[in-house]
Every structure is written in structure tokens, then in C-alpha cells.
């Protein structure tokens, strides 16, 4: 048995000594190449690392700027929304103020119109009473003057009101104002009573006769 073992060992050495050494030499070469690769990779890594760090810092800076821009954008949006709300409130306040001014102006104009109409109505009634008195006096006069006296009352027979034109008034406005007071009168009737033409322009202070229909 011992002889067989020794023979096997000798045979192994005889057959594989060169291959073992060759394998060892090849392995060392491979290891050397691997070490060189590792060294080159380490050198490249040393070169790349500062660039990576610089890129990381730049990215952080960009992220900070982006965060700041987002914050500023939100602030701008809020400011714009606040401005819109403020302008809407100011617009509503202005509209309310204008509406109040218009309402107050219309109320004053209406009151002034009503007072003017009442004043003119009172003056016209007084004139009408005087005309009635003059008519009675004319009827009691001598017969020789009957024809002349009858002509005068005939001219004053139509009753109505004297209206003084105010700034901005038109025949339509004047007729409407008297209609609102219960006086049934139209624009053509006013034109006929005052011998006005369609193209005639009213002037401030102009006196118009507003005819009053008999009931």
C-alpha cells in the first residue's frame, strides 16, 4: 500500500509540476492586473469626488433657490388675491356711493319739481280766479262794450300752468312731470299751446304754458 502511495505522488509531481507553476504565475499576473485596475479606479475616483461634491453643493443651492421661488410665488399669489379682494370692496363702495348720490340728486330734483309745479299751480289758480272775476265784471258792463269784453275772456278761457324751463329739461320731461302730478297733458299739446316747432330748442328760464284739460 505504501509503495502505491509513493508511486502516485511521484507520478503527480512528474506530470503536473510545470502546470502548477504556470498556474501560479498566471494567477499572480491576474492579481497584478486587478491591482492596477483598482489603483486606476481609485485615481479616477479621487478626481471625480470633488466634482461630485461640487455638483451636490450646486444641487443643494438650486433646491434652496427653488424653495425660495416657491415661497415667493405663494406670497405673490396671496398678494394678488388680497389686491383683488380690496379692489372689489373699493368698487362696491364706489358703486354704493354713486348710487346714493344719484338717489339723493333724483330726490332733490323731484322735490324741486314738485315744489315748482305746486307753486306754478297756485299762481295759475290765482290768475284763473282773477280771470273769472274779470269775466263777471265784463258781463255786468254796458251793452256797447259787450263784444270787446266777450273777446277778452275767450282768450283766457283755457286753464293751465306757467312753467319756467330749468337746465336740462325737455318737453318730454316736463310733460312727464306734470303727468305724475295728475295733469293730463302731452308733448303735442304743450307745443301747440306755446306755438313750438319740433326743432325748437328750450332755453333756461323760458316760460311755457302747460294746458290743463277740463274734467
DSSP string, 63-74: HHHHHHHHHHHH
Q: Mean per-residue pLDDT for 47-74?
A: 90
Name the 3-class secondary structure at 150: helix
Distance CA 8, CA 85 (A): 104
Residue 210 pLDDT > 90, yes or no?
Answer: yes
**Which pLDDT tens digit goes with each residue over 19-45?**
445 558 888 888 889 888 888 888 888
Distance of CA 164 to the CA centre of its chain: 42
Q: Mean per-residue pLDDT for 191-212?
A: 90
> What is the sign, positive or negative, of the torsion defined by CA atoms of 108, 109, 115, 119?
positive
Please tell me which of 54-58, 104-108, 133-137 the model is most confident about, judged by mean pLDDT. 54-58
pLDDT of residue 92: 85
| pLDDT confidence bin for 136, thresholds 50/70/90 | very low
pLDDT of residue 137: 33
Is this prediction's pTM over 0.85?
A: no
**Which pLDDT tens digit goes with each residue over 78-122?**
899 998 888 888 888 898 888 888 877 777 777 777 777 877 767
108, 146 contact by CB (below 8 A): no
Amino acid at each position: 500500500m505504501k509503495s502505491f502511495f509513493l508511486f502516485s505522488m511521484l507520478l503527480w509531481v512528474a506530470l503536473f509540476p510545470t502546470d502548477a507553476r504556470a498556474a501560479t504565475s498566471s494567477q499572480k499576473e491576474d492579481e497584478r492586473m486587478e491591482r492596477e485596475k483598482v489603483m486606476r479606479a481609485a485615481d479616477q475616483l479621487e478626481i471625480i469626488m470633488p466634482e461630485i461634491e461640487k455638483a451636490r453643493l450646486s444641487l443643494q443651492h438650486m433646491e434652496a433657490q427653488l424653495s425660495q421661488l416657491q415661497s415667493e410665488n405663494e406670497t405673490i399669489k396671496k398678494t394678488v388675491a388680497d389686491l383683488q379682494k380690496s379692489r372689489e370692496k373699493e368698487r362696491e363702495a364706489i358703486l354704493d356711493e354713486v348710487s346714493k348720490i344719484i338717489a339723493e340728486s333724483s330726490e332733490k330734483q323731484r322735490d324741486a319739481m314738485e315744489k315748482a309745479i305746486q307753486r306754478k299751480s297756485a299762481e295759475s289758480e290765482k290768475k284763473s280766479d282773477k280771470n273769472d272775476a274779470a269775466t263777471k265784471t265784463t258781463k255786468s258792463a254796458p251793452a256797447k262794450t259787450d263784444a270787446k269784453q266777450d273777446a277778452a275772456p275767450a282768450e283766457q278761457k283755457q286753464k293751465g300752468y306757467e312753467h319756467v324751463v330749468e337746465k336740462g329739461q325737455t318737453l318730454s320731461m316736463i310733460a312727464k312731470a306734470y303727468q305724475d302730478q295728475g295733469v293730463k297733458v302731452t308733448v303735442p299739446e304743450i307745443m301747440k299751446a306755446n306755438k313750438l316747432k319740433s326743432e325748437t330748442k328750450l332755453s333756461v328760464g323760458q316760460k311755457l304754458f302747460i294746458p290743463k284739460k277740463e274734467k
